[in-house]
Structure 1
């Protein structure tokens, strides 16, 4: 390769070259890892496990990751219990998710069972039944008139089941709403 044929911005002294020199052989510094976490947290709240996973994909070592996450947790920027409570409230209220679906989502996000259980306990049985009834009432508006009652029942129970409501709750709510609709 001839001298001067390097691509623009890739020679010595460029920003690209400096960023490589600032990196430790292990894949990054604690400060860089903290900055990466702060950028992710600026978009939305995240669990500690989500942040650890994202840092690992960026090439940070487990030691650097743990140090950065511990510092952020120390100042209250990472709190899985608060994350779980916020997640459950938002997903139940705005997406109509039931407890089963929410528990599964929190498991996928790496929130431990104790934090998940505490957040899910914030949803009472009455709250869950009321949210399910609201979803059924909304769905009933779009179901064609004259459709077989059993078919409507199956569709509505299936809709609630896909959203994470227990089969018994779904069946009870749908039967009650169908009776009220008639």
Structure 2
């Protein structure tokens, strides 16, 4: 018996195989959706796209998604809030980068706006500063202009505006150069 055979249990088989050709499409779709949602929350569009890609008929998919919303298993507002918290905490993404990600996941513009309305300029500067300080430790030994480019590039890739990038990089580099001078005289 191979490793894959030992790992795979009958309950882990694809629903269409487990239920056979006479299975109720709604039951199969529900099983697939529940399995997908056990990994992480999804937006309605994201879950629908995954189910359609697995061959769930469009009418069954729509009906099942409506039912999941009715019972609270699928909620784009909750998904957007959790996604925003997660991406800002773990990846230090800017408000605009999170907005783009939520849009690609099919979250409604009004839901996105409501989710992101509490994130202000000061929050962006604070998060960008945390990221820049971490990156500064890696680049502080480089020539100043190279270090500036690397810090600015790291922040820009996370979606921060040029105004935030310029302010944060200058502040972090000025603080970092002050710290290094202080270390030499201690």
TM bracket, shorter-chain basis: 0.7 to 0.9
Question: Is 2:97 the counterpart of 1:96?
Answer: no
| Aligned match of 1:160 | 155
Q: Which runs of 5 or more residues in structure 1 are unaligned?
A: 1-14, 24-28
| Aligned match of 2:66 | 70
Partner-residue secondary structure (3-state), 1:59:
coil
TM-score normalised per structure 1 = 0.83
Root mean square deviation, CA, Å: 1.7
Would you tell me which structure has more helix in proportion to its own residues? 2
Report the structure number with the largest CA radius of gyration: 1
TM-score normalised per structure 2 = 0.82
From 106, 112, 125, the equivalent of 2:102 is 106
1:150 deviates by: 1.7
1:17 deviates by: 9.2
Count of aligned pairs between the two proteins: 162
Partner-residue secondary structure (3-state), 2:138:
coil
| Aligned match of 2:13 | none
Q: Which runs of 5 or more residues in structure 2 are unaligned?
A: 1-15, 178-186
> How far apart are the structure 1 equivalents of 2:98 and 2:75?
18
Q: Which runs of 4+ in 1 moved over 3 A?
A: 15-18
> How far apart are the structure 1 equivalents of 2:114 and 2:169?
28
